Chain A
Amino acid sequence: MNATMARMLGCAVLIAGLIGIGDMAQAADHKNLEENLPLTVEDAYPIGYLGREFQLITRYERGEKGEDRYLVEPVLEFGFPRNGELSISGPFLWGEGEPDGCDDVTLEQLYLLNQETRVLPAFAVIGKVHAPTGPESEGVDWTLKMAATKTLSRSWYLHQLHANFAWTFNEKERPGERDGFYEAVLGYSARINNETMFLADFVRDEDIERGIESNIFEAGVRYMLTPYAVLSGGVGFGVGDDSPDIRATLGIQISLFGKYAMWRPAPRKD
């Protein structure tokens, strides 16, 4: 078995495992913004302590050279420690312009630093480790990210501003690559009705390849389908020669519940 096949098999096992866990569903939260569900922006808030959630991100993107690319990315999230969130994801890519296969598996820890007040936003720090499971990956890269969320206005209309800034360290840069690159996002979310949130953001980022930067405007919605499932959908349009022409994302989050909870009451004395 060659390296590519091994990567694809590992990816398939990871995806199947994560989907299998998704058989057990529980409550999701559509106002808690998650990265790529459906937009790049995420808020500073983790899921609750001991919460468990499965996410599936699907994306179509038309690149700057007109190439069509597809992504399917399962994510598993766990609320740990208190005020934190641990997740693992394994994207699978195919299409034109890039090798097909599993990209870097990423382990991520988010930690909420504070609860927002009327004056102070909520801040979170996020650390990511990218394992070199992608076909063109070398070395273990890592990302340090800050997220901030502030609820706006003096009314019962819910709307929030979000800001993210991430820096990725490219451990083993190859010729033509940067040794580090950033992504900056400014986002906005607002309540439409009891089950639906509207989102919009602007993403400015550097590609790992030197000389390529992109700008994307995105908009989308998050919709509570059931108490434990959130559907999300969004589109993005690039500005600038190096930016993708269009991006469309569909996603689902399913919170994992206790169908197979181990606890049982003591035997009854009948």
Chain B
Amino acid sequence: MTGTLRQWWWAGLIMAAVVAAWGCEHSPWRWEQRDKVSYLRGPYNYDFWNRHNESYRFGSTIHFAHGIQHDILETTPLAEHVKWDEWTNGRYVDKSYDKMRLEPHMMYWGPYVFQGAWKLYWSIDWTHMHHEQTYDVLSSPQIAWPDKDPWTVRSVGYYLEMSEWARSPAPLDLTMRRAGTMMKPYFTYFRNYYPKSSNYFFVAHWWHPVIYEAMMIAGNDDEQSVSVQQAQNLLPVALEDRPLRMLLSREMMPRYSRMSPASANIFDNLHMLHGIAYDILAYEGWTMDQKRAELYRVLKAMSYQEGDEQYVRTFPLPHPEMDPRVYYEWMKPVEGSMNEIMFTMLQEMWPMMSPDGSGELPPEVVDQFWKKMTPGLQEGEVEGSLHDAIMAVAPNIKMMPEASEPGVPAQKMIDAMVEAWTSRLPEIPEVEPYPMAEDPVLPPLEKPADGVIAPLDPNDVQQAKRGWCLTW
């Protein structure tokens, strides 16, 4: 080979290597575009911050907690989980009383995972933007009560159209099946090893929907501030006696879920994404690059896909008349909509896993399932993931090898679960739209036998801020 040819050959080889490195999705040298989008303008922008500032600040505190939790899990050893769980829970509870003034983006408090898996943060921040939009629309005195729905529809459209990482408006029943995470080696790590922090986020996911629902039962007038304050005042109660499961929109905001089922499902999908991301980051069996592959697989599986609109209203309402200003007993135990979805999914997967092909879950598998769903480590619980626990009590189960691989879907199981759910669609009544023609009258707050309410001092009601300028 002549000297010139040799030079061209080496140049071509180097260029090919560079292009391959940049093009490879899991290369540390990958070349990706950010595609960040600013949020939708409307006359309601920042009305939640303006009108319900204390609640806005607690939302900011939650988002601080969400951000920093990523980096804590990725940069600290699992062996020190007790210490770090105490540390994060302590900080989150302190900040819940001395609230963050303004809302941070995820990377502000989680810069390490930002570098490793920025699309996760972009999806979370984008969906937090939708939280802001929908709170603002409901809070805005400028938007008449009957117009709340069309303005919310506009926000949903913008959210779904402007980013490929938008969460699906289909219910969690479908998106969790698409994600196919239950038999992955990381599933339930966060709630089992970091129960205090996990339960803090269960409080956060109680708080988010009750604030929407408090506005729904009060309408546009000054009753809205009273209602929101009555719900907000339950925060110390909820922090002291926390829910032990992720509460879903269908349970916590039945009226808002009827008005905007797409938003309700989007938020459930986001809240579940948080838990799955924390499970993946807590797991020590994979590198950051492998974790990114799995995170992006789950992101994609639970993202908006064409045709998802047809499923938007397909979920039950277990407590259609609940009062968001009451902290009910049914909000607290492990048993509830979320874990029932996952139990059904396990039942759907079992025929493909069981050694004899039977559809009946053995009692020891059921026992380990409910222990895994319970925060912390219970007596008799097998350590590790749900998959580890099932393998320990049913060692002859059939597993697909891809089920334990990062970034690879267990497609047969996913297909089986999705088919099982879609075959039951005729049995699931669609939620009816919520009547928004008349501004509601806030009902008096009464303490039920199965719940707690918080006293309200009229002086405590959050006062709307005057002017746009300086608020502390």
Contacts and interface: CB of A to CB of B under 8 A. Distances in A.
Nearest to A225: B470
Contact of A227 (B38, B49, B109): B49
Contacts of A50: 37-38
Contact of A226 (B33, B64, B115, B469): B469
Interface in B196-217: none
A49 B110 contact: no
Interface string B31-64: 1111111111111011001000000000010001
A267 to B, nearest CB: 10
10 contacts: A26-B46, A31-B107, A48-B36, A117-B118, A153-B111, A194-B64, A226-B469, A228-B468, A257-B41, A265-B151
B30 A117 contact: yes
B72 A224 contact: no
Given A118-B116, A151-B111, A261-B42, A112 B34 contact: yes
A67 B40 CA distance: 47
Contact of B29 (A48, A79, A117): A117
A158 B41 contact: no
Contacts of B102: 194-195, 224, 226-227
A115 B437 CA distance: 46
B151 A156 contact: no
Given A117-B29, A195-B102, A49 B35 contact: yes
Contact of A114 (B32, B36, B103, B107): B32
A45 B33 CA distance: 11
A25 B112 contact: no
A226 B42 contact: no
Nearest to B68: A156
Interface string A233-270: 00000000000000000000000011111010110101
B101 A194 contact: yes
A260 B43 CA distance: 6
Given A50-B38, A257-B46, A265-B147, 4 more contacts: A49-B38, A115-B34, A155-B71, A194-B104
A51 B32 CA distance: 21
A27 interface: yes
A229 B470 CA distance: 9
A156 B33 contact: no
A142 to B, nearest CB: 25
Contacts of B33: 82-83, 112, 114-115
Interface in A130-158: 151, 153-158
A83 B151 contact: no
B468 A226 contact: yes
Nearest 7 interchain pairs by C-beta: A258-B41, A51-B38, A48-B38, A265-B150, A156-B71, A119-B28, A257-B45
Contacts of B75: 154-156
A260 B41 CA distance: 9
Nearest to A258: B41
B4 interface: no
B104 A49 contact: no
Given A154-B112, A265-B147, A119 B101 contact: no
B109 to A, nearest CB: 6
A75 B22 CA distance: 35
B150 A117 contact: no
Given A83-B35, A195-B102, A227-B102, A116 B72 contact: no
A191 interface: yes
> Which among A26, A154, A158 has the greatest number of chain B C-beta atoms within 10 A?
A158
Contact of A120 (B28, B110, B151, B288): B28
B471 interface: yes
Given A50-B37, A257-B46, A158 B108 contact: yes
Given A117-B29, A155-B75, A49 B112 contact: no
B154 interface: yes
A151 B111 CA distance: 7
A48 B163 CA distance: 12
A25 B32 contact: no
A155 B39 contact: no
Contacts of A25: 468
B377 interface: no
Contacts of A224: 101-102
Interface of A: 25-27, 29, 31, 45-52, 79, 82-83, 112, 114-120, 122, 151, 153-158, 191, 194-195, 224-229, 257-261, 263, 265-266, 268, 270
A45 B71 CA distance: 22
A48 B36 CA distance: 5
A227 B103 CA distance: 7
A122 B104 CA distance: 21
A199 to B, nearest CB: 15
Contact of A191 (B28, B41, B108, B146): B108
A45 B34 CA distance: 9
Nearest to B34: A115
Nearest to A29: B105
Contacts of A49: 35-38, 162
B328 interface: no
A49 B38 CA distance: 5
A157 B103 CA distance: 17
B137 to A, nearest CB: 11
A67 to B, nearest CB: 35
A222 to B, nearest CB: 12
Nearest to B153: A265
A225 B151 CA distance: 28
A211 B28 CA distance: 44
Contacts of A112: 33-34
B416 interface: no
A227 B34 contact: no
Given A82-B35, A194-B102, A265-B151, A117 B41 contact: no
B470 A226 contact: yes
Interface string B100-135: 111111011111101110100000000000000000
Contacts of A116: 115, 118
Nearest to A197: B108
A222 B29 CA distance: 31
A150 B106 CA distance: 17
Nearest to A150: B115
B41 A26 contact: yes
A52 B103 CA distance: 19
A261 B43 contact: yes
A263 B116 contact: no
A119 B112 CA distance: 12
A114 B31 CA distance: 6
